[in-house]
A and B are shown apart, each in its own frame.
Chain A
Amino acid sequence: MKKPITITNILSNVLMMTFSLLTIIPLAWMILSAFKPHAHIVRHPLQPPMTWYMDNFILAWTQGHLGIYFVNSIVYSMTATVFTVLFALSSGYALSKFHYKSSRIISMFYMLGLLITVHSVIIPLFIMETNLGLANTRLGVILPYIAFGLPFQVFLSTTYIKGIPDAMQESAIIDGATFQEVFLKIIIPVATPIISTMFIYTFLGNWNEFILVLTLTSDLTVRSLPVGINSFAGGMSRDYGLQFAALVIGTVPMIIFYLIFKDKIAQGFASGAVKE
């Protein structure tokens, strides 16, 4: 069925186009500016680069210590994500398949955790970590990352595992399997689709996290990319070319990540807002 083109269609297209351009133009401008020397950026902000000037990237990477920050970001995001997802899955399995009375209370407990923001615990966390000698260490960043990932991921995994028929577990138990074996050999393989969503969503959140690292660390050797970029590009560098290069280094890997996983990311956000 072919629909005639109406005013509504035209307006809709204009609106979509406007929003898309508003997203793309700033990013394109950022990437192009990163290839321009400082003087050219200041004098002719709208001109495209004349040559593909690479010095900004080299200097930002070395002077701005972006290499260290990059490695730290990968270590934090990967480690914390693996543990968050693993703990959330085992909790989700316990909460949905054991039918204990305490399950309801514990689930409620995690739901409350969704409302608690980092800001309401950052001061005690800082005091506790300082006293325990965890401040300024990688472990001191990873542990809170795991904890703050849990409430939402427990919710996702509980909901998903609930949908797996009890019969699958029961027949395995009758055949003599332990709960650990059921978890590893039945639940995890069946839950693969939700596990990838959980993984990607948690990774994204950890990668972009800012205030925990800002507060709990002060040595540049343990800081992550967002905090590193903020102190380098936001404060120390008056060279706009270096600033743009730092921003590009912080953005481009994530754009690639997004283009590969955008459906999974969307699924993560969308499943949070479903009211059952």
Chain B
Amino acid sequence: MSYYLFLAPGLLLFASIIIFPVFYSLSLSFTSFGGYGRPVFIGLENYARIIRDEVFLHSLRNNLLIVAISVFGQIPLGFLLAYLLYRRMVRHGSLYQTMIFLPITISPVVVALLWNQIFSSSGIVVAIVRKLSGQPQYVMKIFENKQWAIFPILCVLLWMHTGTYMVIFYANLQKMVPSLLEAAQIDGASESQMLGHIIFPHMVGTIATAAIFAISGSLKAFDLIYSMTGGGPAHFTEVIAIYMYINTFKYYKYGFGSAASMIIVLLAVGLILILQYITGKLEQRFE
């Protein structure tokens, strides 16, 4: 009896606000619901229209670039920084750690608007380029290029999240038994041997879990881009979450938007399954 009493409040909220809406959204995604009247069942038509939509494909590409910068940028850099801290390669490690982890507390909206200022014609980047190149009229044109517009945003994401991974890895490195490394050192193991044979195998699980966070976080990237560019200009920096948001709340295509949000879930699950497969292989190799 008390068991259910302890569980009830949380479970009730969780089921009604998260689980039920997921199924609701799934069922809406098969309809042409537009906010009023009765939803009309149209089968897979929303999905078919989405995957043929060029704006969606560009958003998907941007999302995959964000996944790539997280998994192949933030995580390795975060690991490198954590490793340097752990092996005491630098003095004042905790001071550096405090500074590099700091962006985690700042709201993505503030980060977005701050970097817009930095990239603007009266921002740091432009001012420095003008000084160095001697072109007083220089302005950043990168946002006007369809292929490259997302790149400044990738840099900002790197800026925001590298510190988080550093902290995650550093905390888990400290859980290693120190005598293991000491013994290896006495036996004359080099730094790279210790990294490859002791530290990395110990960290595979943590790195894989961090990658899961990175993937699901990258696919829901919204706040930063929404405030920085709103997906513009001309959808150049759009990601699927923004595509979903605009179609739903600007054009009132609830069914269509729900289908887009289901695609985000499917992509996340798909990528995470691939990742688990790779991690499984890696763990086998180290055993």
* B and A form one assembly: yes
* Residue B66, interface by CB 8 Å: no
* Residue A50, interface by CB 8 Å: no
Cβ B209 vs Cβ A275 within 8 A: yes
Q: Which of A154, A179, A265, A269 contacts B2 (CB 8 A)?
A: A179
- Given A26-B115, A100-B3 in contact, is the A147-B171 Cβ separation under 8 Å? no
* Residue B127, interface by CB 8 Å: yes
* Residue B261, interface by CB 8 Å: yes
* Residue B96, interface by CB 8 Å: yes
Which residue on chain A has the smallest CB distance to residue B23?
Answer: A124
* Residue B172, interface by CB 8 Å: yes
Cβ A274 vs Cβ B209 within 8 A: yes
* Residue B138, interface by CB 8 Å: no
9-residue interface stretch from B48-56, B144-152, B161-169: B161-169
Chain A positions within 8 Å of B126 at CB level: 45
* Residue B262, interface by CB 8 Å: yes
- Given A20-B99, A180-B2 in contact, is the A46-B17 Cβ separation under 8 Å? no
* Residue A23, interface by CB 8 Å: yes
Interface of chain A, helix or strand or loop or mixed? helix
- Given A9-B90, A125-B21, A275-B205 in contact, is the A19-B96 Cβ separation under 8 Å? yes
* Residue A143, interface by CB 8 Å: yes
A114 to B: closest C-beta gap in Å: 8
Cβ A116 vs Cβ B17 within 8 A: no
- Given A91-B7, A226-B107, A226-B110 in contact, is the A123-B258 Cβ separation under 8 Å? yes
Interface of chain B, helix or strand or loop or mixed? helix
- Given A234-B113, A275-B205 in contact, is the A8-B89 Cβ separation under 8 Å? yes
Give 1 or 0 for each of B244-264: 1 = CB within 8 Å of chain A CB.
Answer: 110011000010011001101
User: How many residues of A sit at the interface, in one of the four size bands?
Assistant: 35 or more
B272 to A: closest C-beta gap in Å: 7
Cβ B28 vs Cβ A123 within 8 A: yes
Q: Which of B22, B105, B124 contacts A45 (CB 8 A)?
A: B124
Counted as pairs of residues, one from A and one from B, with CB atoms less than 8 Å apart, the total is 277
Cβ A91 vs Cβ B81 within 8 A: no
B134 to A: closest C-beta gap in Å: 16
User: How many residues of B sit at the interface, in one of the four size bands?
Assistant: 35 or more
Q: Which of B19-51 contact A (CB under 8 A)?
A: 19-22, 24-25, 28, 35
Chain A positions within 8 Å of B3 at CB level: 94, 98, 100
B197 to A: closest C-beta gap in Å: 19
* Residue B200, interface by CB 8 Å: no
Cβ B17 vs Cβ A270 within 8 A: no
Cβ A267 vs Cβ B171 within 8 A: yes
Cβ B84 vs Cβ A122 within 8 A: no
Measured CA separation A27–B110 after assembly (Å) = 10
Measured CA separation A116–B241 after assembly (Å) = 13
Q: Which 5 residue pairs spanning A and B have beta carbons closest together?
A: A270-B171, A275-B205, A147-B17, A121-B21, A94-B6
Identify 26 residue pairs between A and B in the complex whose beta-carbon atoms are under 8 Å apart, listed by A's number: A19-B100, A30-B114, A30-B117, A87-B9, A87-B13, A94-B3, A100-B3, A115-B269, A117-B265, A117-B268, A119-B241, A121-B18, A123-B28, A123-B248, A124-B20, A124-B24, A207-B107, A210-B226, A211-B223, A229-B109, A234-B109, A259-B98, A270-B172, A273-B172, A274-B206, A275-B205
A interface residues (Cβ-Cβ under 8 A, vs B): 8-9, 12-13, 15-17, 19-20, 22-27, 29-30, 33, 41-43, 45-46, 87-88, 90-91, 93-95, 98, 100, 106, 109-110, 113, 115-128, 143-144, 146-148, 150-151, 154, 178-180, 183, 204, 207-208, 210-211, 214-215, 225-227, 229-230, 233-234, 240, 243-244, 247, 250-251, 254-255, 257-259, 262, 265-267, 269-270, 272-275
Known: A94-B4, A113-B19. 16 other contacts (CB 8 A): A19-B96, A45-B127, A98-B3, A109-B14, A119-B245, A123-B25, A123-B254, A125-B17, A147-B16, A147-B18, A148-B17, A208-B106, A229-B109, A233-B113, A254-B105, A273-B168
